[in-house]
Amino acid sequence: MKLSTRYLLNTLGGAYLVAATAIGALLWLLHMLENLEQGLSGSADLLLAGLSALRQLPEGLIDLLPVITVLATAAAMGSLQARNELTILRVSGLSIWRLTGLALIPGLVVSLLALSALQWVTPEIRQSPERLLGASLGESGLWHPSHGLWIRSGNEFLNVQELRLGRIPTGINLYQFAEDGQLQRQIRAGDALVRPDGRWLLEDVRIRDFNASPEAYFERLDSLSWDSFLTARQLELLLLPPASLALSDLWQYVGGLKQRGQDVAEFEMVLWKRLALPLTCLVMVLAAMATAAVPLKSRAVSVRLVGALVLGLGFQMLTELATYLGLLLNWPVMVVALAPPFFLAGLAWWLLARAR
């Protein structure tokens, strides 16, 4: 590896580290302030609030990875240009296309690391059903690794053995008791699909009615709709949000919803935005290099940093706006997820071609 190439990559690596540290510190502070608004009773709660904010950092940094990418690339190129090193590199034979190719390497590496983290790291950081062992359930809920989740409401007891893919209750047993404590009905189901209105669509259902005649004692159904007694807060804690699922689990979950004919737009949008992360980061590098290739009368690095920050945040807002409009107007998910980065890539490529 040439000395100039090694120097450029080291400069870019340092810029990525500084940008990620700065944005990470800001994110941690915002999460910490959000946790402090809930009230603290002592130093132990303050420590727990800090740890909770720290657990939210990886996913937040991944969501803002395009901003980090464009900010780091612009900072590195701006500092090189301020010291006339970028001009020296170009005079030594490194064209703007060669410099752009080298700048794409760190962007590709960090985006692939982010995808790996989304598959194996962030799902583990997210709390599993033990989150239900809080004040939201009071004394009506219990979770045990061997026996699953137990929740009581009045004379009904719900047991869920596990949550497949983080969102599909599996191994369900529902026990309904009379006022005198006698078991009246037991409902078993292989798994359930939780609908947006809170209802559960139980599948592969077996019902035992202990008050019925011997002929009607046992009944087997393909599916059964059950009005769940879980509150909206309990249901929110029980089911992992789509963004916290591993990529493979999210892919399987979307496929399962499509097979059942359910609405998958929200989950599919999250999936494709995650899969498009490497493309988005590479486009951010192209955009930063396009701005670096345009000579400025003022060589102040701050000018390029502000421009890069505006570009990154603007692109992030544009992407979120396109996502909301796509979900509202039922636009094709892949088009909504991939159109913004392709548009920005075309614009950056045109600017680079003009600067050549």
Question: According to the model, what pLDDT value does residue 135 have?
Answer: 43
Task: Quote the CA–CA distance of 271 and 260 in Å, as a whole number.
Answer: 18
The SS3 of residue 148 is strand
Question: According to the model, what pLDDT value does residue 118 have?
Answer: 94
Q: Is there a contact between 163 and 169 (Cβ–Cβ < 8 Å)?
A: yes
DSSP letter, residue 155: T
The SS3 of residue 141 is strand
Nearest-5° Cα angle at 164, 130 to 243: 75
C-alpha 186 chain-centroid distance: 37
Specify the amino acid at residue 274: R
**115: closest CA among 333, 238, 272, 9?**
272
Question: According to the model, what pLDDT value does residue 177 have?
Answer: 94
Task: Quote the CA–CA distance of 307 and 270 in Å, as a whole number.
Answer: 28
Task: Quote the CA–CA distance of 21 and 71 in Å, as a whole number.
Answer: 12
**160: closest CA among 145, 176, 175, 173?**
173
Question: According to the model, what pLDDT value does residue 261 have?
Answer: 83
Specify the amino acid at residue 86: L
Domains of the chain, residue spans? 3-125+269-355, 129-239
Question: According to the model, what pLDDT value does residue 120 have?
Answer: 92
Specify the amino acid at residue 66: P
pLDDT by position in tens, the chain (length 356): 588 899 999 999 999 999 999 999 999 999 999 888 877 777 788 888 898 889 889 999 999 999 999 999 999 988 888 888 887 888 877 888 899 999 999 999 999 999 999 999 988 887 554 444 444 554 466 766 677 888 888 899 999 998 888 788 999 999 999 999 999 999 999 999 988 888 999 999 999 999 888 777 899 999 999 999 887 767 776 777 887 889 999 999 999 888 888 888 889 999 999 999 999 999 999 999 987 766 655 555 677 777 787 888 888 898 999 999 999 999 999 999 999 999 999 988 888 887 66
Structure tokens at 80: 């090189």
Q: What is the pTM of this model?
A: 0.85
Quickly name the fold that domain 129-239 has. Answer: lipopolysaccharide transport protein A fold (2.60.450)
Question: According to the model, what pLDDT value does residue 356 have?
Answer: 63
Question: According to the model, what pLDDT value does residue 355 have?
Answer: 67
Q: Is there a contact between 345 and 280 (Cβ–Cβ < 8 Å)?
A: no
> Read out DSSP for 48-115?
HHHHHHHHTHHHHHHHTHHHHHHHHHHHHHHHHHHTTHHHHHHHTT--HHHHHHHHHHHHHHHHHHHH
What region, left, alpha or beta, does residue 186 occupy, with left being phi > 0 and alpha being psi -120 to 50 degrees?
beta
Structure tokens at 182: 């006698």
